[in-house]
Copies of this chain bind each other. A is one copy, B any other.
Amino acid sequence: MKISARNRLKGKVVDVTLGATTAHVRIDIGGSIITASITNEAVAELGLAAGKDAYAVVKASDVMVAVDD
C-alpha cells in the first residue's frame, strides 16, 4: 500500500506501553524519539515490540512548526 501521508520516518521501536485501549509506541528515528499513540489492537496486528523496524507516519496537516523565542 502506498499512502498519501507526506511523512514516513524509518526507525526502530524502543518500547511499547499498552494501556486499557490505547498504547504508546516510541520509535527511535536516527537518534530522535517519536511517540505514537495508537490502539492496542494495531500494536497486536503489526506485531510491534522493542527492536522491530518501523516507520512513524504523519499526515502533513498534523505537523505544526515552532521557532525559539
Contacts and interface: CB of A to CB of B under 8 A. Distances in A.
Contact of A4 (B8, B18, B19, B38): B38
Contacts of A42: 4-6, 65
Query: How many subunits of this chain does the assembly comprise?
Result: 6
A2 B47 CA distance: 11
A50 interface: no
Interface in A14-65: 17-25, 27, 29-32, 34-39, 41-43, 45-48, 52-65
A7 B20 contact: no
Contacts of A22: 19-22, 37
Contacts of A24: 21, 39, 41, 60
